[in-house]
Amino acid sequence: MADLEPGTRVPDDITFTGPDGPVRLGDLIGEKVLVLYFYPKDETTGCTAEACSFRDLYQDFQDAGADVVGVSRDSAEDHAKFKANHRLPFRLLTDKGGAAAKRMGVKKTFGIIPGRVTFVIDTQGVVRLRFDSQMNAKKHVSDALEMVRSLAKAA
């Protein structure tokens, strides 16, 4: 699938795996703005920095009317350990085999490293921000929060 760029509606039938079973993207959309971030791997340096940045600003995201959900290929067990180790207050979902990432246009870096892309998706399921940077993990968080705040002001 082509990259999901701002102004594009996300396919609501994309499915991830949560700790209690399947989670459809469409079920995450509606009440709040969704910050959906794809990252390469639990407990790696950049991914930990990114997750902890989302954690540190999580209340700001909540106050602005957004929910944060992280996605990687790691198992539910690995996610549970990662959440506990870093006191992450948001959901982490599994994209086994990378099918969801592929459908959303999240490309591998150098053809081998799962991509790092953050989407801000409004309550209608439309992408309002796509930030794609493997190296600048913390900028994903600041850019996403800026977009969430601008959507809250516009509402």
Q: 126 exposed, middle or buried (CB, 10 Å; 0-12, 13-18, 19+)?
A: middle
Residue pLDDT, tens place only, 15-58: 999 988 999 999 999 989 999 999 999 999 999 999 999 999 99
User: Residue 93: beta bridge partners?
Assistant: 71
At 110, give phi and psi (nearest 5°).
55, 20
Q: Which residues contact 74 (CB under 8 A, 6 or more apart)?
A: 41, 42, 82, 92, 94
**Please, are residues 36 and 118 in contact by the beta-carbon 8 Å criterion?**
yes
pLDDT of residue 151: 93
Domains (range + CATH), the chain? 15-150 (3.40.30.10)
What was the pLDDT predicted at 5?
85
Q: How many CA atoms are closer than 13 Å to the CA of 63, on its beta-carbon side?
A: 6
Q: Is 52 a catalytic residue?
A: no
Point out the catalytic residue in the list 14, 28, 47, 66: 47
- Tell me the one-letter amino acid at 108: K
Task: Specify the pTM.
Answer: 0.94
Share of the chain above pLDDT 90, in %: 77
